[in-house]
Every structure is written in C-alpha cells, then in structure tokens.
Amino acid sequence: MLRDIASGNDPQVIAVLDIIKHADPDVIALQGFDYDLTNLALRLFADQAGYPHIFAARPNTGMATGLDLNGDGRLGGPNDAQGYGRFSGHRGMAVMSKLPIDAGKVQDFSALLWRDVPCPSLPVLNGKPFLTAEMLGAQRLSNTGHWIVSIDGPNGPFHLMTFHATPPVFDGPEDRNGNRNHDEVRLWQQYFDGQIGIPITTPFIIAGDANLDPNAGEGRRSAIINLLADQRVQDAKPRGNSPTQDTDTVDWSEPTPGNMRVDYVMPSVEWTITDSGVLWPKPSDPLADIAKTASRHHLVWVDITR
C-alpha cells in the first residue's frame, strides 16, 4: 500500500484522494486502511490529502491468536485472527484531521475480551457454548477496534468514536459473527451507560462501519436500531443517490445482497446538524466513476456546529 500511495499513479488511491478532497471534511474516519507500526503509509496519504493530524493504533484484524477460532480444524487462517485479516494490520482504521488530535487522551477498547462486556451474546451450538474456555480467554470483542479519539475543535474539545464491526455473515448455525456484530454495535450504548471506559463530558460523534442495516440483510438489526434511536445521539439520515434506498451507503448489488445502509455518522445531541449526505453521485455525475473506483462504500458526511 505504501508503494501504491507513493507511486502517485494507483487508480484506487487517486480516486479515494479525489473523493476526500471533494468532500473536504475537517475530520474523517477511514475504514479498511492497512496499518503499519510507524504509520508511514498513513502519514504519506494524509500529506497528499491535506491533513496535518493523524491517529491510528494497531487493529485486531490479522492479529494472530494461535487458536482455531472458527472451528474449521486448521490454525493460522484469516478467520483465526482476532479480526479477519490475512496479515497483522490488514484493513485497519485511521483518523485524519485538520484539527489537533490529543493522542494522550484516546480511549482504545480494542483489547476488551468479548466475554467481559456486559451481558455478552456469546455463540451457542446445539445447546453448548461454541467457544471453548481457552478461546474465551483470548477472543476480543472488536473485529477491528473501538476508539474514542479526543480532538481540539474551534469551540472546545470533542470526541470521535470510530469502529469497524465484523460482518454478521460468513459463519455457521452458531451465528458467531452475527452475535459479535451485535455486541460491537451495542458497545457504544454500554459506554454511554457507564458500564465500560472513562466517561466523557464533551460532545462526540460516532463515525464508522457497523456492517449492519436497520431494515435489510442479515444480522441482529436490533443493535443498530437501538443505537439510532438512542436519545443521546442524532440520526441525520444522510441521503445520496443509491438506485434502491437513498440512505444506502454501500453498493453490494452484485451479486447479492444489494445496496444497504451500513456506514454511519451520528453526532451527539449537543450538536446542531446543518446538513448531511452520502457521496453517491448520479450515473451522469463526473464523480460517479471516481466513487466506484474508490470503494463499494460511499463517503458519509455530516455538517455540525455548536
């Protein structure tokens, strides 16, 4: 990835940069960005995008466990890592900002064990726990990570809460991924309730990929429905030009399951929302091909003030 960013001629890198520059956000949460120990790739990418401040921590994706977590009788596969990944750092997360980031105040829940969250929805198969005691002692909740990043805004500090949940599919009758996805999405409400972490008193924004649509697809949709309805956050219902639902954020139309809303930006109630949208251009828009080259996911944006 560093090679492709540095080359200046990689089509996807160019397309992602074009989309970010077009939207021109003050703060952006990137999903699916490979992590390296010194953030060399992220620093180069942020420089090209025009962002002086960055944050990224090691994600759970690709982090080896030495255990057969998916029960296929083999060790060392991408599904045996803490989060699906073909190498350590595969498809991590990153934050880029035009505003200063206080890395010393970041709360990182990525190491939290699944069994240790309040009322975990642990998978069961044939009436018995699917994960052994050894697995439960190793398996983290976060597929990628859960971060609360402190940012110094023009009207005082605020916090960006970002995460990338596991897809609630690609498992078996035990519904391991569906249950994990549910608990990853629910974690933010448990944080609000004071059940984990250190409480914050400043405004926040949740921005990330829940991999869960409130109205369609597989997964335990109650998790995202409850989060969207929580009185402590606002759902701006950003809209684009998806051919199915205008709140869709990802193009999974080929071959299945179709376009869905799985990416979210949810400000806390302290903010006033002035505008929002999904950067999903119409087919006739010159940005349409650029957006398609950049990602199947479309950039979600919300303008806020306080």
Domains of the chain: 2-305 (3.60.10.10)
pLDDT digits (tens, 9 = 90+) for 150-161: 999 999 999 999
Neighbouring C-alpha atoms within 13 Å toward the C-beta of 305: 2
Query: Do the beta carbons of residue 160 and residue 151 sit within 8 Å?
Result: yes
Query: Do the beta carbons of residue 258 and residue 252 sit within 8 Å?
Result: yes
251-265 mean pLDDT: 91
pLDDT, greater one: 70 or 134: 134
Task: Find, among 167, 195, 146, the residue nearest to 260 by Cα.
Answer: 167
pTM recorded for the entire structure? 0.97
Confidence of residue 6 (pLDDT cuts 50, 70, 90): very high
Q: Which two tokens stand for residue 131?
A: 């994960």
pLDDT digits (tens, 9 = 90+) for 37-71: 999 999 999 999 999 999 999 999 999 999 998 87
Residue 255 in this model has a pLDDT that exceeds 80: no
Residue 100 in this model has a pLDDT that exceeds 80: yes
Residue 19 in this model has a pLDDT that exceeds 80: yes
Residue with tokens 């990338």: 164
Question: In this predicted structure, what is the pLDDT of residue 272?
Answer: 98
Cis omega (within 30 of 0) on the bond before 257?
Answer: yes
Residue 254 in this model has a pLDDT that exceeds 90: no
Least confident range of 72-76, 89-93, 104-108: 72-76
Task: Find, among 4, 147, 185, 164, the residue nearest to 84 by Cα.
Answer: 164
